[in-house]
């Protein structure tokens, strides 16, 4: 008779490798940088930080890539024989970006609304990298972005350099950075500006952004009961009943109070967005979310637009969650059903919309445009 061993093998020690990715010269954190340690890859968060857990002892190659920044000439060699913290600074030839030059938002500002408008002139927020303190209107640029809590929003800049863009915020503490690309593709990232939103909770927020300038893409949300089902899958049959969109941006029929009725912040008709629907206190029901490529529906010659939708439920609570979706819209796909949020649970489901006779009319219009 043989006896089985009751013990286990020796445990293998593992460690945590943390660190930050910064811009050389300013030490501003770089959100969204790709960090690879051995076979693992992570993106830096809104603070430019990364973390690898359960790392076995050994020597690892650390590589970092960030759009617009020079890659490391050689991977860093990291010896892991305990918990390690690493700081990596990336070179860039882009101008220095000064977030303090924004016109109407300041460090430590406290806001009662879940959004803020970023405005100013791009020539005021840039300086030559060789002289951080002096501003220059001769600096060239190709792209301006806002990074809000680690999420990127494109900002349209006018011919005179002015810009104005509303961006969504979360309950509590928020981080805001600006990132500018010069005409050679080099990126400069500002320091972090922190603002606080005093709202304790946001039941539902939907954010639409897209990648194509001078185009009009629209966000729609319908409130329906489970028995009613989804809306008709055709723009011709959409009505204003419990429907928030550009023509009905502040409906009053979703709930009995102001907080139970959604608000659409803007109708962005010249590209990028974001367009945001905010519903602070959602009444129990189904909330169907749709996107419509309005310019293509009008028959205008427009390029495909890659649209991104982020849905955040129960923001500011322990049950907060986020869903993200991406879809390419063009003249063959004018209308996109994103999904349905069931409140108060915040569950995401798919509810098949009914067919519509007018879909044939839409197909006829597409044929006429060809």
Q: Residue 170 maps to which CATH number?
A: 2.60.40.10
Domain stop point among 75, 90, 105: 90
Per residue in 71-94, pLDDT tens? Answer: 888 889 999 999 999 999 999 999
CA distances from 203 to 107, 122, 254, 309, 311 (A): 27, 35, 14, 17, 10
More confident residue, 4 or 148: 148
DSSP character string of 194-206: EEEE--S-EEEEE
Same domain, 187 and 254: no
pTM, rounded to two decimals: 0.76
Residues of the domain holding 38: 14-90
Same domain, 286 and 152: no
Same domain, 190 and 237: no
Same domain, 223 and 368: yes
β-pairing, 14-23 vs 84-90, is parallel
3 lies in some domain: no
In 3D space, the residue among 197, 214, 232 whose CA is nearest the CA of residue 356 turns out to be 232
Collect all residues with Cβ–Cβ distance below 8 Å to 71 and sequence separation of at least 6: 63, 64, 65, 90
Domain stop point among 90, 110, 141: 90
Q: What are phi and psi of 232, to 5 degrees?
A: -65, 135
Question: Token pair 């030059």 is at which residue?
Answer: 101
Per residue in 50-70, pLDDT tens? Answer: 999 999 999 999 999 999 999
In 3D space, the residue among 21, 172, 148 whose CA is nearest the CA of residue 91 turns out to be 21
8 lies in some domain: no
1 lies in some domain: no
For the chain, the domain total comes to 3
Domain stop point among 66, 90, 114: 90
Same domain, 168 and 32: no
- Local confidence band at 299 (pLDDT 50, 70, 90 cut-offs): confident
Same domain, 296 and 232: yes
Same domain, 134 and 162: yes
Mean pLDDT in residue range 169-184: 94
Same domain, 159 and 295: no
Contact 40, 62 (CB under 8 A): no
5 lies in some domain: no
Nearest 5 degrees, angle CA 69-CA 274-CA 236? 140
- Local confidence band at 356 (pLDDT 50, 70, 90 cut-offs): low
């Amino acid at each position: 008779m043989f006896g089985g061993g009751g013990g286990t093998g020796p445990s293998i020690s593992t460690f945590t490798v943390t660190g930050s990715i910064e811009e050389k010269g300013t030490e501003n954190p770089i959100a969204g940088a790709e960090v690879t340690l051995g076979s693992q890859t992570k993106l830096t968060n809104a603070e430019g930080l990364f973390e690898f857990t359960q790392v076995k002892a050994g020597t690892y190659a650390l590589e970092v890539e960030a759009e617009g920044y020079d890659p490391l000439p050689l991977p860093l060699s990291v010896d892991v024989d305990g918990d390690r913290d690493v700081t990596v600074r990336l070179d860039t030839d882009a101008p220095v970006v000064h977030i303090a030059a924004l016109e109407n938002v300041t460090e430590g500002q406290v806001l009662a609304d879940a959004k803020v408008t970023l405005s100013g002139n791009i020539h005021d927020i840039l300086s030559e990298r060789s002289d951080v303190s002096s501003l220059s209107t001769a600096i060239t640029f190709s792209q301006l972005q806002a990074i809000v809590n680690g999420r990127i929003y494109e900002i349209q800049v006018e011919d005179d350099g002015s810009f104005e863009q509303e961006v969504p915020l979360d309950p509590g503490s928020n981080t805001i950075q600006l990132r500018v690309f010069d005409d050679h593709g080099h990126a400069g990232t500002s320091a972090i500006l922190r603002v606080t939103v005093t709202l304790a909770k946001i039941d539902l927020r939907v954010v639409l952004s897209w990648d194509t300038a001078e185009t009009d893409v629209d966000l729609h949300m319908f409130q329906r009961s489970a028995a009613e089902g989804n809306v008709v899958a055709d723009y011709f049959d959409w009505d204003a009943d419990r429907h928030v969109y550009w023509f009905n941006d502040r409906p009053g029929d979703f709930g009995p109070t102001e907080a139970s009725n959604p608000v659409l912040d803007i109708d962005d008709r010249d590209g990028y967005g974001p367009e945001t629907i905010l519903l602070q206190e959602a009444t129990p029901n189904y909330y169907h979310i749709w996107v419509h490529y309005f310019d293509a529906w009008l028959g205008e010659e427009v390029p495909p637009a890659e649209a991104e939708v982020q849905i955040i439920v129960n923001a500011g609570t322990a049950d907060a969650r986020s869903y993200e979706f991406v879809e390419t819209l063009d003249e063959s796909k004018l209308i996109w059903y994103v999904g349905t949020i069931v409140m108060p649970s915040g569950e995401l489901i798919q509810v098949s919309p009914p067919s519509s006779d007018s879909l044939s009319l839409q197909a006829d219009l597409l044929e006429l445009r060809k």
